[in-house]
Structures are given as structure tokens and as C-alpha cells.
Amino acid sequence: MILKGKVVLITGGTGSLGRKLTEVLLRDHDPHSVRVFSRDELKQSQMREEFKDDQRLRFLIGDVRDAGRLARAMDRVNVVIHAAALKQIVAAEYNPIEAVRTNIMGAVNVIDAAIDRGVEKVVGVSTDKAVYPINLYGATKLCAEKLFVHGNAYSGAHGTRFSCVRYGNVVGSRGSIVPLFERLKASGELPITDARMTRFWITLEQAVDLILTCVREMKGGEIFIPKIPSMKVTELAKALAPDAKLKIVGIRPGEKLKEYLISSEESRYTRDCGTYFAVEPTNYPFWAGNGKPAAEGLVDGFEYNSENNDQWLSAEELRDVLGRS
């Protein structure tokens, strides 16, 4: 129980990840309290009912754009999980300044408030779309990653530590392709942008486990990346609606045929840690002599993408994940 007796703040805490993280923390880690920080009072009310008014829960209305509110929310907090973001690719393209204000300036506000309040550890939640980004959402998350990694330079050798987790699509999360296909399967036809498209998939439980691994193992500046399976989007559609017709509609702006979790440039300073990779920072003196081995085990030019992956999710495994026989 690495967070026993700790005060944990989760930005974007009423989202799918925030709810699952809250559930696991309260059930398995005995924190002093969990502060759920979000903009949506209705979702907070629903979450309060879901957790039966657990006395360890605190619900704080606020926006990561508001630096003052974040500073107040982080008073006497030990660990921050920063999950708040604008995540819809199309919405970010149409509202670019709003995406920048939330995803980039929001990250700046989290960093400043954490340092000023003496928070011990901060974990930023990122995405595979931050690697070789081709849309604004991915670009904002790449920038947020860089801010978190280099936020350690602002806090100094003995101050707040910042690290990130980076993973792929969450199975069944709100706004993902799985609920979309579930809604459309009754029509007998599912839209596929390109039959060659592949994606990484992770469950909420795996995402939470990665975050807790990051909290436990982080020195500051790392990006933790899970080893997770890929699936072709056509196979995903067949698994969810085996009788539906697949209609190829063409790739949309901002989409890739495959997603990346590690670029070839990053692989030079990435460690293989068994069940996950850790991309290490390259320019912090406090890393010297910390007992960790140098980056090793990755072939020069290695890229971790959803097409060259050696793990693939079968239709049966996907149904199991979704709780179906």
C-alpha cells in the first residue's frame, strides 16, 4: 500500500480513469483522503453516491486553467495524478486555443501549484498520440510531457518530482470506438476509416496499475510505458458485431494508420523493465548514481508501435475484457 495515509489529488477525477483510480485507492491503499478535482458538479454528485459518501473522499469543483484554485486544492497534498485534459481529436482541431489552455497551460498550472505547495510526487497522464503527433491533441500532450519532464528542473534536486505515464486507447472508455461500435451495431453496418489501421489497447485496471507503478518507482523525469496488446480495427469491429457489414469511409484528418508508444529517438535512453518501459531523462544531475542501470536492451532504432507489436488482442480476449462470454 504505497499510498497508505497519503493525501492524493486527482485532476479530472470524475472521468473513467479517475473513477477507477479512486476505487482502487480506497479499496487497496488506505489513503488518508482522495481529492477529486473536476469541473462537473453532476458527475461529482453521481460519484459521491457511487462511493456511498466515503468519508475519505473530498470533491472539489475547479478547472486546471485556474491556477489559484489548483493552489488551494493542493494544500497538504502528497501525490497528484494529473488526468484532466481535452481529449477529443476533432474538438481540439476545431477549438485549438481551448485545447492549449487546458492541456498545456493547465499542465503549467499543475506544475507551479505542486512546487509551491510542496507536493511530493506528480504523475501526468499522457497518450500514444504524443509520439510523432499529427494532430493538435497529440501536440498538446507532447508539450505537456515535456513540461512535466523538465518541471523537475524548476523544483530542484530535493523538491517535487514529476513523471508521466503514456499509454494507448482505453477499452470501453467514454468517447472511444468501442461504445461507438456498440451503439451502431444494431444498424448492421460499422464505419471503418482504413482496413489497415491498428491501435494499442489497455484496460482501466492496467492504466491504474501503471500509474501506481510510476508513483512507486519514479525518481523524476521518466515516462512509463506499458507493454500492451494491439488489435486491428477491423478485428475489433468483427469481435463486437460479427454480423455487421464493414463500410470503409476513408481516413480522417489527424488519424494515423498505426500509433507509437516509443519513438526511435527515445529508444536510445529507454530501459526495458519487464512489463513496462521507462524513457529516462537525459540531463538531470540528480540521476547520477541513483542505482538504476543505464538504458539497455533495446536495439538501436527500435520503435514500439501498434503494427510491429508482438502482443495481439484476440476477439475472445476483447469480449472477456468487456465482461462478455
Q: What is the mean pLDDT of residues 291-320?
A: 80
Q: What is the mean pLDDT of residues 232-258?
A: 89
Top mean-pLDDT range of 67-81, 150-164, 253-267:
67-81
- Whether residue 135 has pLDDT greater than 80: yes
Q: Are 18 and 83 in contact (CB under 8 A)?
A: yes
CATH C-level class of 7-169+202-227+261-305: alpha beta
- Number of other CB atoms surrounding residue 194 within 10 Å: 16
What's the confidence (pLDDT) of residue 325? 40
Q: Which residue has better confidence, 252 or 66? A: 66
Amino acid at 35: R
What confidence tier does 291 reach under pLDDT thresholds 50, 70, 90? very low
Active-site amino acid positions:
129
Q: Are 69 and 29 in contact (CB under 8 A)?
A: no
| Alpha-carbon span 135 to 144, nearest angstrom | 14
- Whether residue 289 has pLDDT greater than 50: no
* CA distances (Å), origin 148, targets 42, 82, 212, 248: 30, 10, 17, 39
Q: Which residue has better confidence, 303 or 295? A: 303
Q: What is the mean pLDDT of residues 105-115?
A: 98
Mean pLDDT of the chain: 91
What is the DSSP secondary structure assignment for residue 185, as one 8-state letter?
G
Amino acid at 195: A
What's the confidence (pLDDT) of residue 290? 52
Burial of 153 (C-beta count, 10 Å sphere; 0-12/13-18/19+): middle
Residues 208-236: tens digit of each pLDDT: 999 999 999 999 999 999 999 999 999 98
| SS3 call for 26 | helix
pTM to 2 decimal places: 0.93
What confidence tier does 243 reach under pLDDT thresholds 50, 70, 90? confident
- Whether residue 324 has pLDDT greater than 80: no
Instruction: List, in order, residues 6 or more apart from 185 with CB less than 8 Å away.
Output: 240, 241, 244
Burial of 38 (C-beta count, 10 Å sphere; 0-12/13-18/19+): buried
Residues 174-200: tens digit of each pLDDT: 667 888 888 888 888 899 999 999 999
